């Protein structure tokens, strides 16, 4: 399985528009972070996790010409705003399968009503095939995906375990029974916003404590704010098996 980090930034991305913060002005490509998303590939399957406002650029940068579906973690704009840009995939492949909690599908239907209409659809509008995720395993291609139920302040968020790989973002709290579902993963991706605490995201300390409970071989941090600091400096302070992810990083599991 190959995973590509399409974006590793928090909701505004890095640089933030108009910001003179040193991290926003950094020339290190690892300090430039698009909105959070990942591409997961195995055998001939290609799935995207979340479809934020940078989706088009992410697909172009990584030469993605076919997707088998999109998994949504939750309905926040930095995770869904790029849905219209599935059009080139829709033109080639037909309706694009999307997987999400019923609440998230309802939100998408409100926001992108023209995508979901079945009658008298505007020519050129994309189409999707909806799949409801409940907190039970579901099939994706030839794989069983285990949803991981987490909370982002009041908002429910799904993380996903695909065999030895697990991807969680926008987590603030998670029950022990859900952490148990992550036991034995080789690679864990989890959000870490910055050092200071935040009402709806793990900060660095909380993310590290969570990783130490799950005990993966390696962990990658994502959904990073410019307040976290320079990539190179933060990486040097992290424990041995924990890495800051960066845009276009590829890992094989």
CB of 172 to Zn ion, least distance (A): 10
Q: For 224, which DSSP code?
A: B
Does position 78 interact with Zn ion (CB under 5 A)? The reply is yes
d(CA 12, CA 26): 16
Please identify, using beta-carbon distances, which residue of 78 and 178 lies nearer to Zn ion. Answer: 78
For residue 37, the surrounding DSSP H or E stretch is strand 37-42
Which token pair is 192? 């870490």
Residues written for the chain: 253
- Binders of Zn ion among residues 148 to 177 (CB under 5 A) are 170
Report whether 100 contacts 72 (CB < 8 A): yes
Count Cβ atoms below 10 Å from residue 94 Cβ, excluding itself.
Answer: 11
Measured from the CB atom, is 42 or 201 closer to Zn ion?
201
194 binds Zn ion (CB under 5 A): no
- For the window 114-153, what string marks contact with Zn ion as x by the rule CB under 5 A? ----------------------------------------
Query: What number of chain residues touch Zn ion (CB under 5 A)?
Result: 3
Q: Select from 32, 33, 76, 172 the one that contacts Zn ion (CB under 5 A).
A: 76
C-beta of 32 vs 33, nearer to Zn ion: 33
Residue whose CB is nearest to Zn ion in the complex, by number: 76
As measured in angstroms, the least distance from the Cβ of 170 to Zn ion is 4
75 binds Zn ion (CB under 5 A): no
| Residue (42 or 80) nearer to Zn ion, CB | 80
Residue 188 CA to residue 215 CA, distance in Å, equals 9
User: Shortest distance, CB of residue 152 to Zn ion, whole angstroms?
Assistant: 5
Rounded Cα distance, 24 and 216, in Å: 31
Please, which residue, 78 or 206, has the CB nearer to Zn ion? 78
In the bound complex, what is the minimum distance in angstroms from residue 10's beta carbon to Zn ion?
Answer: 6
Nearer to Zn ion, 42 or 85 (CB): 85
CB of 113 to Zn ion, least distance (A): 22
Helix/strand/coil (H/E/C) assignment for every residue in 77-146: HHHHCCHHHHHHHHHHHCCEEEEECHHHHHHHHHHCHHHHCCCCCCCCCCCEEEEECCCCCEEECCEEEE
> Buried b vs exposed e over 122-145: b needs ≥16 C-beta within 10 Å?
eeeebbbeeeebeeeebebeebeb
Q: Contact positions toward Zn ion, by CB under 5 A?
A: 76, 78, 170
């Amino acid at each position: 399985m190959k995973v590509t980090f399409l974006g590793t930034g928090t909701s505004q991305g890095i640089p933030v528009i108009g910001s003179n913060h040193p991290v926003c002005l950094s020339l290190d490509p690892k300090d430039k972070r698009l909105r959070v998303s990942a591409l997961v590939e195995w055998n001939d399957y290609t799935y995207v996790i979340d479809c934020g406002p940078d989706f088009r650029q992410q697909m172009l940068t990584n030469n993605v010409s076919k997707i088998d579906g999109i998994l949504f973690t939750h309905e926040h704009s930095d995770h869904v705003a790029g849905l219209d840009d599935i059009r080139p995939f829709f033109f080639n492949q037909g309706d694009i399968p999307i997987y999400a909690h019923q609440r998230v599908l309802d939100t998408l239907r409100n926001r992108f009503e023209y995508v979901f209409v079945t009658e008298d659809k505007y020519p050129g509008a994309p189409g999707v095939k909806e799949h409801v995720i409940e907190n039970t395993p579901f099939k994706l291609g030839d794989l069983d995906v285990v949803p991981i139920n987490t909370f982002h302040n009041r908002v429910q968020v799904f993380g996903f375990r695909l065999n030895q790989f697990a991807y969680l973002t926008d987590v603030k709290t998670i029950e022990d029974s859900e952490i148990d579902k992550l036991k034995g993963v080789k690679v864990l991706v989890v959000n870490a916003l910055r050092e200071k605490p935040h009402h709806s995201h793990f900060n660095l300390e909380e993310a590290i404590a969570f990783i130490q409970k799950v005990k993966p071989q390696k962990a990658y941090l994502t959904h990073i704010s410019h307040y976290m600091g320079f990539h190179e400096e933060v990486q040097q302070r992290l424990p041995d098996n924990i890495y800051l992810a960066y845009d276009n990083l590829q890992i094989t599991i």
